[in-house]
Amino acid sequence: MSVSRLIVAAVLFLAFAMASCFTERGDEGELLYGRHCASCHLENGEGLRGVIPPLVNSDYVEKNRDILACLLRKGISGTITVNGKQYNQAMPGNQQLTEADLTNIINYLHKEFKSPKQRVSFGEIREQMRNCP
Amino acid sequence: MKNTLLAVGLGLALVTACTSSPEEKKLPILGPREPKVTMVDGKPQVDTVYHTIPDFAFLDQDSTLVTQQTVANKIYVADFFFTSCPSICPKMKSQMLRVYEKFKDNPRVALLSHSIDPAHDTVAVLRDYADRLGVKSSTWHFLTGNRDSIFDMAQKHYYTSAMEDKTVAGGYAHSGSFLLVDGQRRLRGHYDGTNAQDVDKLLQDMDVLLAEKGK
């Protein structure tokens, strides 16, 4: 009786421990976003009025879905148009981001800010990074 | 009877506790202070001399010279930033926009954002930045000028940090502080401009300071 209860407890404990592992993996995108993106685009992805473009429902992100990982790693300079407004502040590149990091960040953008509209896969990002413009 | 009196008394106490606190509250005066002894009618009289922001002269986004005269009899919020800053500035500016939106039509309030990269942040660059934020120069002045004077103001007078540092992103290290200054140019509050809760407090403290001056 007590032994079987002990086993149940142990299994439950393990399940919880594992679950916390998985959630931490799931939060990777959020952590990376916080570290590399949020100081300019802000936690809510709204950017800074007129200066830093928003990431929420961004048509620019959607249009550039196929080179998004390249842009995150190499940065952007010059004027771009986002949701009908022009922005000219340069975005610094992030050479240290791995393909896995880029995948996690882009899927975080998809989940939180609805752009890009579709998730990306690791394979897709790996392929994209080989053909950066 | 006794109980009714007690209840009325308690009610009154509660009402006054809620209504009187904003007027009663007084902000501290920050910074070092010195006693100043003067002789009045042969008797020594001691006054406290508080730390004040000295005279200054910087150009704003309209090429207008902004001096202590510009903020005379106003309360103002000062901060230090630069337009190409890749770290905390966008967050600071989005918080300063909250301050601007609340007080933009109050002629007794000004905001002074000093650039710590004045070589890059010329009048034209600041003008573009202010236009992009969509703010008017009568309330919010973006300042440029002699770099050492601006660093000095930050470190020696506003007690915040601002310096060149090639090791950090953007090339300049600075705090995200917002400094609240009263009509006599005394420091009355120090807030973390990257923290929304701290800026909530600044917004409340500005109301307190405006009420204090009105008396």
B80 neighbors B175 (Cβ within 8 angstroms): yes
B12 within domain boundaries: no
What token pair was written down for B86? 């890749």
For residue B167, what pLDDT is reported? 77
What total number of domains does chain A contain?
1
B14 within domain boundaries: no
What token pair was written down for B100? 């601007």
Q: Which domain covers residue B170, as residue numbers?
A: 54-214
Average pLDDT over residues B62-68: 97
Report the CATH number that the domain containing residue A33 is assigned in CATH. 1.10.760.10
Cβ-defined contact of A49 to B87 (cutoff 8 Å): no
Report the CATH number that the domain containing residue B105 is assigned in CATH. 3.40.30.10
Chain B residues bordering chain A (beta-carbon distance below 8 Å): 83-84, 86-88, 90-91, 93-94, 97, 129, 131-134, 169
B36 within domain boundaries: no
What total number of domains does chain B contain?
1
* B131, closest residue in chain A (CA to CA): A50
Q: What would the pLDDT profile of A39-61 be if each residue is shown by its tens digit?
A: 899 999 999 999 999 999 999 99
B19 within domain boundaries: no
B181 within domain boundaries: yes
B101 within domain boundaries: yes
Q: Residue B173: is its pLDDT beyond 80?
A: no
Q: What would the pLDDT profile of B90-112 be if each residue is shown by its tens digit?
A: 899 999 999 999 999 999 999 99
3-class secondary-structure state, position A39: helix
* B85, closest residue in chain A (CA to CA): A40
User: A118 - beta bridge partners?
Assistant: none
Q: pLDDT tier at B215 (50, 70, 90 boundaries)?
A: very low
Q: Residue B113: is its pLDDT beyond 80?
A: yes
Q: Which domain covers residue A75, as residue numbers?
A: 2-130
What letters, b where the CB count within 10 A reaches 16 and e where it falls short, cover A60-75?
Answer: bbeeebeebbbbbbbe
Alpha-carbon distance A126 to A62, whole Å? 19
For residue B190, what pLDDT is reported? 95
B47 within domain boundaries: no
Q: Tell me phi and psi for residue B157, to 5 degrees.
A: -115, -35
Cβ-defined contact of A49 to B90 (cutoff 8 Å): no
